Amino acid sequence: MGMILGKISVETPKYELIQSTPDYEIRKYPAAVIAQVTYDPTNFKGNKDGGFMLLANYIGALGNPQNSKPETIAMTAPVITKSSEEIAMTAPVVTKSGDGENNTVTMQFILPAKYTKAEEAPKPLDERVVIVEEGERKYGVVKFSGTANDKVVKEKVENLKKWLERDGFKIIGEFELARYNPPWTLPPFKTNEVMIPVE
């Protein structure tokens, strides 16, 4: 019942709150180890979230873990996605944007904090899943509820970009979409964030 009502009961990334305004927050995140997959949604019948199953299989969320140990890895939130489709700037699931030439999506699971180096995480059996380290990073963040559809995300990105530029922050990359809840969570109880990296 808790997941339907938006309860987040898994590990989420720790961060330092640098600044809070009525419009957004500036957060600094420590280095993290990430499992990610980059794909063309047409390989998954047009589903932009098609990479989720590859990552879920890697950690063992749906059965036997598809990694070299095999070791079940705890699910964390958010799932991050980055898309190469042109949305505003081109750009805790994170989705990232690519170069705009092709419509690839990068989906990321942030691995539990016990993994501090990429080589500590079990090696994926599926070569499409890659383990990477991300260094410390700073983001402008807008949190919102509801379904994170393209129209809503585009509006949030445009507003956040405008606010960051107004307040003198230098944007240094594409937006990321962080989704904290499973798809069956009722939309008003979903937690989503649009994150834009800043200097």
Rounded distance between C-alpha atoms, residue 108 and residue 96, angstroms: 9
Q: Judge whether 181 lies within some domain.
A: yes
Q: Which of 135, 155, 178 is the endpoint of a domain?
A: 135
180 with 192, same domain?
Answer: yes
Task: Please give the tally of structural domains in the chain.
Answer: 2
> What residues have CB less than 8 Å from 149, skipping those under 6 apart?
none
* Ranges assigned E (strand) in 97-171: 105-110, 130-134, 137-144
Q: Judge whether 140 lies within some domain.
A: yes
Percentage of the chain lying above the pLDDT 90 cut: 66
Q: Does residue 135 sit in helix, strand or coil? A: coil
Q: Are 105 and 82 in contact (CB under 8 A)?
A: yes
176 with 116, same domain?
Answer: no
CATH number of the CATH domain containing 50 = 3.20.80.10
Rounded distance between C-alpha atoms, residue 95 and residue 55, angstroms: 13
70 with 119, same domain?
Answer: yes
* Structure confidence by residue, pLDDT tens digits, 52-108: 999 999 999 888 999 999 999 998 999 998 876 433 332 245 555 444 445 788 999
Q: What is the pTM of this model?
A: 0.85
| Residue numbers of the domain that contains 165 | 13-30+136-198
Q: Are 32 and 110 in contact (CB under 8 A)?
A: yes
Mean pLDDT of the chain: 87
